[in-house]
Amino acid sequence: MSDTEILAGVPGVRHLGSGKVRELFEVDGNLLLVASDRMSAYDYVLETPIPDKGKILTQLSLWWFEQLADVVPNHLVTTDPAMFPVELRDHKDVLSGRSMLCERLSMIEIECVARGYLTGSGLAEYQERGTACGVPLPAGLVDGSRLDYPIFTPAAKAAVGEHDENIDFAETSERVGADLAAEIRDLTLAIYDRAHRIAAERGIILADTKFEFGRRADGTVVLADEVLTPDSSRFWPADQWEPGHAQPSYDKQYVRDWLTSPASGWDRHSGEAPPPLPDEVIERTRARYVEAYERLTGEAFR
Ligand SMILES: Nc1ncnc(-c2cnn(Cc3cccc(F)c3)c2)c1Cl
């Protein structure tokens, strides 16, 4: 039985939605975000789970919420199952460590992306037009180039499995209003600056990241969703940073290398789903998530 089936069968718990690797439930007016051990690569959700991935990434979000508490309020209510509504407490195995009870916000339907380095969809637009989300950039930049200053590159949310559509600041203002657009831009860049600095001190480059914000009834803008995890951000090992080609992903590189090697027998352009991962790739990938957690937080994962 999957987490969703277990939890959706609990009285008072309503399944609201699924992300690629996460589930969202409503519980007594709050929200429960449950991070699964699923991993996505090349736009596929792999059939082989990575043990503890959901717990590691949830614990990392919690740590970042603490580091950022003086920069922006967040939506966290609690992660302690003992504080969860009584009907959830005996699902500790499903919930322990990889669920957050959050206040229900009115979400701002903009993916707030900050980029300190040029890669991915930002690089693609740059190579075509010399801009990123309409922001003109200097000539001569390559894959992995560090930008003179971080930029806000908002996107309109896409349906699950689709790619978000990059929009410029004018379109963002059209959608949410000029004042709120300026507020989420400034918050996005302030959070990125702080997080980039913290990660760099620990030998990790935070190349880019995606935030989601919501608003309370009183209008306060609150940092929501997961934050600064390898699923919402690009983390690169600083000692391997070399502009001019795709940088190794801190967490996904073993999976990408195996899937694109002859050993997997898979052709990523075939339209077929990837094969299951061998145990050694699973374990090494789990170890990378643990290592990222321990390097960033300075705490042992347990
Ligand atoms: N605090 C909040 N208040 C209202 N809505 C949300 C909210 C809605 N959607 N998402 C993204 C998502 C979609 C699928 C599964 C997930 F776990 C998360 C987050 C939040 Cl975090």
Please state the pTM of the whole predicted model: 0.96
Distance from Cα 213 to the centre of ligand 1, integer Å? 10
User: CATH: 3.10.129.10, 3.40.50.300, 3.30.420.10, 3.30.200.20. Which one for 3-104?
Assistant: 3.30.200.20
Q: Is 107 in the pocket of ligand 1 (CB under 6 A)?
A: yes
- The ligand 1 atom at the shortest distance from the C-alpha of residue 17 is 14
Residue of the CA atom closest to atom 19 of ligand 1: 225
Q: What is the torsional sign of CA 220, 88, 22, 159?
A: negative
Cβ–ligand 1 contact at 54 (below 6 Å):
no
Task: State which CATH number among 3.30.200.20, 3.40.50.620, 3.40.930.10, 3.30.470.20 fits the domain covering 107-253.
Answer: 3.30.470.20
Residues in Cβ contact with 17 at an 8 Å cutoff, skipping those fewer than 6 apart:
23, 24
Q: Which of 225, 231, 232 to mutate to test the pocket of ligand 1 (most atoms within 8 A of CB)?
A: 225
Ligand 1 atom closest to the CA of 226, numbered from 1: 21
How much is the pLDDT for 95?
Answer: 81
Instruction: Give the closest residue to 255 by CA, choosing from 292, 282, 293.
Output: 282
Rg (CA), the chain: 19
Element (H, E) at 259: helix 253-259
Distance, in Å, from the CA atom of 78 to the CA atom of 287, rounded to the nearest integer, reads 27
Dist CA 133 CA 152 (whole Å): 8
ipTM (interface predicted TM): 0.97
Q: Does ligand 1 lie within 6 Å of residue 38's CB atom? A: no
- Does the Cβ of 22 fall within 6 Å of ligand 1? yes
Probe target for ligand 1 pocket from 21, 30, 79, 107, with the most ligand atoms within 8 Å of CB: 107
50 CB less than 6 Å from ligand 1?
no
Given a cut of 50, the residues of the chain with pLDDT beneath it are none
Residue 19 CB less than 6 A away from ligand 1: yes
* CA 225 / ligand 1 centre spacing (Å): 6
d(CA 190, CA 160): 28
Here the tokens at position 61 are 């979000």
User: Domain residues of the chain, as ranges?
Assistant: 3-104, 107-253
Q: Look at residue 30 in the predicted model and tell me its pLDDT.
A: 95
The per-residue pLDDT for 91 is 83
Those residues whose C-beta lies under 8 Å from the C-beta of residue 236, and which sit 6 or more positions away, are: 117, 144, 204, 205, 207, 247, 248, 249, 250
Same fold flag, 3-104 and 107-253:
no
pLDDT of residue 82: 84
CA of 14 to the centre of ligand 1 (A): 13
